[in-house]
């Protein structure tokens, strides 16, 4: 008997999981290490145990549910994602990757299919990063990219410590975080963008994730009285910053393929309604799938800001605050995703991920790949986030085939 994804069961599991932290407008609020996070973890663990899995929890709360393979020495094929959400998050971001992994195991059980390597379904802790220090905490720690103690000592805005909250919800595990071999890591996720829906393609084989460079720009002018200083004698730092934001937006349109450039956070000083702003600090988030282009963009952005500062007699300082290089997923695993879609007759296209994911961290220590499915109107990090049962099932069928092929590869 061939293992088959059960579309209704997969959908029903999503709807059951979405009840935990459900918001009035049909979304989900399940912040990391809260009571809702605990309940969602408990439900996953219950389902995984019912599917015959052994549960391990590591010291930062990552959960691994293992379906044994026939070769006890084989490194596992791992698949999963996260169960935490944004404050006004959707039902599918993260949950889909976990529940698709669970459906793979359930489908294999139904058909009595064994694999050579074991299969681990993973729930990574705190992917969203909206409560503690930063995002992808669990997977980054697993990959050795963040010091474990620093993660455990992180505090939320109320001063509650990550490690204490982890213990409070009962997921301060005893397994060491990281340190075991992963044969392959697959993550299914909603696209969180409009490409697949626009193209009418149900599955994306994700070849990598775009790189990101972030900056903080300080524009310095001179405070002055809003009623008395004539317009032609002002050094208005906010006006300069506003013109820079417009110019930065225009820079994006000069590159192909087009990058994304966002000015998302602005601080105006003294931020008084009748004082001409003497200083304005703003952030730039720039992203592109080529590292070389990111460097060219940086030069162009700097030149655009310098030109405006010079024209207006303003001071300018631009500091690079973070660099995340482009992530390339494992070519063999990406090919296994394309092959699986091909064998199933499911249309599939190569694509880049616009967002960061746990898979981007795991790619540092193991071969990794992702499978995307469409989400309605490309909307995510929003209560209105939506996906169809058939698209979720198509992505899971591709995952199932790719996981089994990889787990049986010698």
Chain residues that interact with Zn ion, rule: CB under 5 A: 93-94
Nearest to 259 by CA among 323, 320, 210: 210
- Which lies closer to Zn ion via its Cβ, residue 36 or residue 236? 36
User: Which residues have a Cβ under 8 Å from the Cβ of 74 and sit 6 or more positions away?
Assistant: 116, 117, 118, 183, 407
- Which lies closer to Zn ion via its Cβ, residue 215 or residue 372? 372
Query: Cβ 209 to Zn ion, closest distance in Å?
Result: 12
CA distance 108 to 86: 32
CA distance 269 to 243: 17
Query: Cβ 406 to Zn ion, closest distance in Å?
Result: 22
Query: Which residue has the closest beta carbon to Zn ion?
Result: 94
Burial class of 236 by CB neighbour count within 10 A (0 to 12, 13 to 18, 19+): buried
CA distance 140 to 149: 13
Query: Cβ 96 to Zn ion, closest distance in Å?
Result: 8
Containing 215, the helix (H) or strand (E) segment is strand 211-220
Query: Cβ 193 to Zn ion, closest distance in Å?
Result: 12
- Which lies closer to Zn ion via its Cβ, residue 66 or residue 357? 357
- Which lies closer to Zn ion via its Cβ, residue 94 or residue 193? 94
Query: Cβ 361 to Zn ion, closest distance in Å?
Result: 12
Query: Cβ 137 to Zn ion, closest distance in Å?
Result: 13
CA distance 116 to 97: 22
User: Which residues have a Cβ under 8 Å from the Cβ of 165 and sit 6 or more positions away?
Assistant: 33, 34, 156
Query: Cβ 315 to Zn ion, closest distance in Å?
Result: 40
- Which lies closer to Zn ion via its Cβ, residue 89 or residue 118? 89
- Which lies closer to Zn ion via its Cβ, residue 126 or residue 236? 126
CA distance 136 to 125: 7
Query: What is the DSSP code (8-state) at residue 58?
Result: B
- Which lies closer to Zn ion via its Cβ, residue 59 or residue 192? 192
Report the 3 state secondary structure along 154-173. Answer: CECCCCCEHHHHHHHCCCCC
């Amino acid at each position: 008997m061939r293992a088959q994804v059960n579309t209704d069961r997969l959908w029903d599991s999503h709807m059951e999981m979405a009840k935990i932290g459900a918001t009035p407008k049909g979304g989900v609020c399940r912040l990391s290490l809260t009571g809702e996070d605990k309940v969602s973890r408990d439900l996953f663990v219950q389902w995984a145990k019912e599917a015959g899995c052994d549960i391990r929890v590591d010291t930062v709360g990552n959960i691994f549910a293992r379906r044994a393979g026939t070769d006890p020495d084989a490194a596992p094929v791992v698949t999963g994602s996260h169960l935490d959400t944004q404050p006004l998050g959707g039902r599918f971001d993260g949950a889909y990757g976990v529940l698709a992994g669970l459906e793979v195991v359930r489908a294999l059980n139904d058909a009595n299919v064994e694999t050579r390597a074991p299969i681990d379904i993973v729930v990574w802790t705190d992917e969203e990063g909206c409560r503690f220090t930063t995002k992808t905490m669990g997977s980054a720690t697993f990959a050795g990219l963040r010091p474990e103690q620093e993660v455990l000592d992180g505090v939320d805005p109320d001063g509650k410590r990550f490690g204490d909250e982890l213990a409070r919800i009962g997921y301060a595990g005893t397994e060491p975080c990281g340190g075991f071999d992963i044969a392959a890591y697959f993550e299914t996720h909603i696209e969180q963008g409009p490409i697949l829906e626009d193209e009418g393609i149900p599955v994306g084989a994700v070849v990598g994730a775009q790189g990101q460079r972030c900056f903080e720009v300080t524009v310095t002018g001179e405070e002055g009285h809003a009623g008395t200083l004539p317009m032609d004698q002002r050094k208005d730092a906010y006006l300069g910053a506003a013109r820079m934001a417009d110019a930065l937006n225009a820079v994006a349109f000069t590159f192909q393929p087009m990058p994304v450039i966002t000015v998302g956070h602005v601080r105006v000083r003294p931020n008084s309604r009748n004082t001409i702003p003497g200083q304005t600090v703003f952030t730039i988030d720039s992203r592109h799938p080529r590292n070389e282009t990111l460097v060219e963009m940086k030069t162009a952005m700097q030149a655009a800001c310098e030109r405006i500062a010079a024209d207006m007699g303003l001071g300018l300082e631009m500091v690079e605050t973070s660099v995340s290089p482009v992530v390339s997923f494992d070519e063999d695993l990406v090919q296994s995703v394309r092959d699986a879609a091909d064998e199933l007759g499911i249309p599939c296209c190569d694509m880049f991920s616009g967002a960061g994911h746990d898979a981007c961290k795991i790619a540092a220590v193991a071969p990794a790949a992702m499978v995307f499915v469409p989400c309605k109107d490309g909307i995510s990090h929003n209560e209105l986030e939506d996906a169809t049962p058939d698209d979720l099932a198509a992505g899971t069928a591709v995952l199932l085939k790719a996981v089994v092929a990889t787990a049986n590869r010698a």
